Structure 1
Amino acid sequence: MLDNPAVLIWSMLFGVFGIGFFTYGKRQGAPIPLIVGITLMIYPYFVSNLILLVCIGIALIALPYFVKL
């Protein structure tokens, strides 16, 4: 993973978004942003392909806007 600095930068960016979604979900009691936030913080540890990392991250960030509970 560390052989490509772009992967590290994108992972940190999605981690920051994850912290934001997690905080919002916890304060509002909303389960979807809470789960998305946890997922955004964890999944970069398991994905090392840059294109796959960005695609999954964008899909997760867009998920709460399309799924409402």
Structure 2
Amino acid sequence: MQPLDLFLNLMLGLVGSAYLLYGRKQAAGLPMLCGLMMMVEPYVVPGFIGQLLVGILLAALPFLRR
């Protein structure tokens, strides 16, 4: 595993856990779901580019929904 992959996985997990905690605190389902998916996504999506694109989409989804 490359250092860039480890950094991306760390950032996706960090941002995902922040979304999950925010969603739980505000009782908002979409940020909570996106946070959970961002934390699980590095285990499911192969490749750096795929993880990056899916992570950006999941991070932007709650803002696009508003």
TM-score (norm 1): 0.89
Within a 5 Å distance, the mapping from 1:1-69 to structure 2 comes to: 2=1, 4-68=2-66
Q: Deviation of residue 48 (structure 1)?
A: 2.9
Q: Deviation of residue 5 (structure 1)?
A: 2.0
Which runs of 5 or more structure 1 residues have no equivalent in the other structure? Answer: none
Structure holding more helix per residue: 2
Q: Deviation of residue 46 (structure 1)?
A: 1.7
What percentage of residue pairs aligned between the two structures are identical? 32
Partner AA of 2:21 in structure 1: T
Q: Give the 4+ runs in structure 1 shifted more than 2 A.
A: none
What is the count of residue pairs matched by the alignment? Answer: 66
> In the TM superposition, what whole-angstrom CA distance separates every residue of 1:12-38 from its partner, at most 9, and x where no partner exists?
101000010000000000000000000
- CA distance in structure 2 between the aligned counterparts of 1:17 and 1:64, rounded to whole angstroms: 13
Q: How well do the aligned residues superpose, as a CA RMSD in angstroms?
A: 1.0
- CA distance in structure 2 between the aligned counterparts of 1:48 and 1:12, rounded to whole angstroms: 15
